[in-house]
Every structure is written in structure tokens, then in C-alpha cells.
Amino acid sequence: MSQLIVTAAGIADRNQARAILEGGKGILLDWDGCVAIGDVPHADGLKFLSRFQERIAIVSNSSTIRPRDIHRILAQAGVIFPINRIILAGHQALVRAAEVKRPTIVFGSLPMKALARDLGVVQVKCDPEIIVLLRDTRFSYESLRLGVNALLNGAHLIVSNPDLTHPGHAGSIIPETGALLAAFQACVPAQAFKMEVIGKPSAKLFEQACLALGIDTSQAVMIGDNPQTDIIGAKQLDMASILVRPGSSLSLADLC
């Protein structure tokens, strides 16, 4: 499939984007900033999901919400979406930590820590061998001190996603996991510790979504709002991609 990147400047027109979309066997659709703002889906997002639902997997770098949460939110809005096609960076980061089975500190929300427990992550309060970094709205100076010293002592870092921010309501921005990672890296050089990034632009979420859809990555189209994660990640896999965000020449409504 040919690569199409629709930029905010409007390099490609609506008809070209629609042609790429119709030609793909599967659609990987970003959540926050694309379908929803602050985990509240908007009308265009719901319309797009309803029209193309059988071909869609939701692929998001969100690390504060669980697949079942998005399933419930969409159901309340009248869209019944399969939970196995909701692929989230935070959930997958915890799945990875559960696979490793080492003493782990999770920097994240209470629901995500509960999910970690349900998945079998071995959680500790000190001396971790693994640190899982999610978007933690309670992250503190003590969190930073604990984390950077664990990294200096050889802990392995699993990062849900590298985004610095995502769009909030009324044009605001929400600090993301990548901003917390930047604080870690300001204290400990990146080459001094081992790090695994789960979310986009890494290939893992794209591949998981395509597996859920039963297609090859070359048969999918990525639609997202972040050039650095959605678009670059798709390009690395030779996957077609469309950028849809405020100020872009396209909206989800244009693609319906």
C-alpha cells in the first residue's frame, strides 16, 4: 500500500485520503485527540467508528485507561466495540511487566496499579528490578528520587509511551508519560539504563492491532493526531497513515 501522510498543511486532499482508507483491509484508529478528548468521544469519532467498525482496531498510547473502560464508554454512547480490538500502551506495558516476573514499581494511577495486580505483576515499594512508567498524575519529587536511583542500581525501565503531551479540552494540553520520562533522563543519562518503550512509534501496538484484525501491517491504515508517534510509527512499518487533528485539512467527518 502506498504511503500517504496528510499533514496540517493539507498536502493530500480528502479524495486521496478516502481512496487510501477504502483500499485498506484494516484501520488502526487513535483514541485521545482523535476519537475522543479527555476520554469523551465526540460526534465525528462515534460516526466514524459506527461506519467502519468491522475494520477498526483502536490503538492508543493512553496509559491511564483500560480496554474495558473504553469498551464501556463506547457502549454508553451506543457503539458496541470488541474489547479485544482495543490496544492500549499502558495495558500492554503492564502485560510486559507481568511476563518478566521481577520485583516491580508501577508509577501510574490506582486503577492501573490494580490492573497490574490482576495481571500478576510483582509489585514492591523499594528495590525494584523493573520500573513501569505510565502517565501518573500523582508523580512527585519522591517518585523521581526513587525512580532515578533504582535506574542507577540497574533497574530496567518499561515506558508505556513517549508522548510529551496530548490535547485537552478548550485547546489545553495534558502532560504525558514522555514528560515524566524526560525528568528521569535529566537525572540519569539514557545510556546508563535499559529502557523498553511499548507505545507508538514502537512497532508493538501496531502489530498487536493487526493481529487482532487478522491482517498484515502492510494492509492497514493508521489514523491519528500525533505526527511523532502515529505517523512515524506507521511509516516505519510501511503502513499508510492519515493525520487528523485540530488545524489539519481533514477531520474524521471528511473520511466518513
Write down the pLDDT at residue 248: 67
CA distances from 15 to 18, 19, 235 (A): 5, 6, 21
Using CA atoms of 147, 151, 156, 160 in order, give the dihedral in degrees to the nearest 10.
Answer: 40
* 205 and 185, same domain (yes or no): no
Number of folded domains in the chain?
A: 2
- pLDDT tens-digit readout, 190-247: 899 999 999 999 999 999 999 999 999 999 999 998 889 999 999 999 999 998 876 6
Write down the pLDDT at residue 5: 42
Q: Which domain holds residue 52?
A: 14-61+201-255
* 149 and 183, same domain (yes or no): yes
- Report which of 209, 223, 210 is spatially closest to residue 252, judged by C-alpha positions: 223
Q: Which of 161, 179, 197 marks a domain boundary? A: 197
Burial (Cβ within 10 Å: 0-12, 13-18, ≥19) of residue 142: exposed
Q: Compute the distance between CA of residue 152 and CA of residue 150 in angstroms, rounded to an integer.
A: 5
Residues in the chain, pLDDT under 50? 1-11
Q: What is the pTM of this model?
A: 0.91
Specify if 78 maps to a domain. no
Write down the pLDDT at residue 178: 97
* 205 and 189, same domain (yes or no): no
* 121 and 183, same domain (yes or no): yes
* 171 and 214, same domain (yes or no): no
Contact present, 124 and 103 (Cβ < 8 Å): yes
* CATH number for the domain that contains residue 28: 3.40.50.1000
CA distances from 124 to 21, 104, 116, 142, 192 (A): 46, 6, 12, 15, 23
Specify if 111 maps to a domain. yes
* 243 and 205, same domain (yes or no): yes
Q: Which of 179, 197, 215 marks a domain boundary? A: 197
CA distances from 97 to 159, 181, 201 (A): 10, 17, 19
* 192 and 205, same domain (yes or no): no
Write down the pLDDT at residue 246: 60
Specify if 176 maps to a domain. yes
